[in-house]
């Protein structure tokens, strides 16, 4: 499985854009990238998923460069409620490289 590396923690202020980068140097051709968000005392929640280039939904954007060795989760105009731990997972169900291993994640602290 592709090993992922994320910063342990990040700090931001309300209203700023936050970019969290995940490194996955040994990503395989068929692997996709998935990000989850976890609030204290809750299970992780799916945020966004992508394979290449850019994906955007109502809460975030995911940027994946051409070599796919990294990906960046972008949270526009964060608020206090975005304080959480963010996990990056890489894998592909069809090839058995399932994206089921959660690392330590990135702990985002948003301040007023």
Got the DSSP string for 84-106? EEEEEEEEBGGGTB-S----S-E
Nearer to another protein, 42 or 81 (CB): 42
Shortest distance (Å) from residue 104 CB to another protein: 5
Is the four-CA dihedral 13, 23, 58, 97 of positive or negative sign? negative
Q: Can you give the binding site for another protein, defined by CB under 8 A? A: 32, 34, 36, 41-46, 49-51, 87, 91-93, 98-105
Contact 20, 10 (CB under 8 A): yes
CB of 35 vs another protein, minimal distance in Å:
11
Complex with another protein: residue 7 or 44, whichever CB lies closer: 44
Closest to another protein by CB, 18 or 89 = 89
* Nearest approach, Cβ of residue 28 and another protein (Å): 13
What is the CB neighbour count within 10 angstroms for residue 67?
Answer: 9
Which 3 state secondary structure label does DSSP give 11?
strand
């Amino acid at each position: 499985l592709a090993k992922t590396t994320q910063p342990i923690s990040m700090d931001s202020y309300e209203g700023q854009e936050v970019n969290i980068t995940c490194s996955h140097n040994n990503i395989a051709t068929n692997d996709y990238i998935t990000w989850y968000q976890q609030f204290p005392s809750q299970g992780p929640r799916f945020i966004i998923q992508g394979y290449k280039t850019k994906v955007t939904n109502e809460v975030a954007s995911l940027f994946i460069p051409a070599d796919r060795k990294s990906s960046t989760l972008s949270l526009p105009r964060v608020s206090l409620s975005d304080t959480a731990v963010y996990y990056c997972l890489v894998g592909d169900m069809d090839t058995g490289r399932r994206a089921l291993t959660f690392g330590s994640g990135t702990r985002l602290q948003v301040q007023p």
